[in-house]
Amino acid sequence: MRSHLWPFALKCRVIVAYCVFLVSASYGLAAECAFKRVPIELLDPSSRAVYSGKAKTVELRFSNFRANDPVDVFPESPLRLTHLGLNSTCEIDGGIWIRAHVYLSRDEKTLLTREYSGNNEQLMFYATSNCRKLAEVDVTDARFLLQGNRLVIRHSDARRLKKADAVYRFTERCIPAQPYVTGKR
């Protein structure tokens, strides 16, 4: 009788192995989203008019009309994105970009910036192939952490009274999926 159960047990093992493969493959796709910071530096040290950040396939250029001073933010639109692999350039009209918060996904298909306008701050996600906005996440009065396949939003004490902290998982397109709320601390 045991010999009859052996094919069934083998089938179960194969099914379990296949399910584990599918789950790990889906995590593998999202794990490719690990964002890395793009350093934004002066394009030409003798002039403070243009700042640039470059990766393997993408180059970013920010304008600075206050050419006498080094800057931490770029209020002048547009952000010019050149996709070196596609040999194409597009522009993003946005809010005020924060120099220290410019990131690219590992595959360099998604650009993440922290922008603000007035009292509102957002994390903006753009496609590097055409500068199309993919998603945005409100980070007004909040800190954010990029942790591999996750985006963690932690609100300041005043804002936390109204809004709970949240964790987003990145989709295979490297944009945040619906968050799950971590509760108020």
pLDDT in tens, 51-73: 999 999 999 999 887 767 778 99
- For residue 16, the model assigns a pLDDT of 39
Greater pLDDT, 169 or 183: 169
Quick check: is 2 in a domain? no
Quick check: is 21 in a domain? no
Which of 40-44, 134-138, 156-160, 163-167 is modeled with the greatest confidence?
A: 134-138
Average pLDDT over residues 5-34: 48
- What CATH number does the domain containing 121 carry? 2.40.128.650
Quick check: is 13 in a domain? no
Quick check: is 12 in a domain? no
Please check the confidence at residue 7 and state whether its pLDDT lies above 60.
no
Quick check: is 65 in a domain? yes
Per the structure, the count of domains in the chain is 1
Question: Count of residues for the chain?
Answer: 185
Please check the confidence at residue 19 and state whether its pLDDT lies above 60.
no
Please check the confidence at residue 127 and state whether its pLDDT lies above 90.
yes
Containing structural domain, residue 143 = 32-183
Output the furthest CA–CA distance in the chain (Å, rounded): 87
Q: What is the pTM of this model?
A: 0.78
CA 149 – CA 69 distance, rounded (Å): 37
Of 164, 119, 167, 120, which is closest to residue 145 (Cα–Cα)?
167
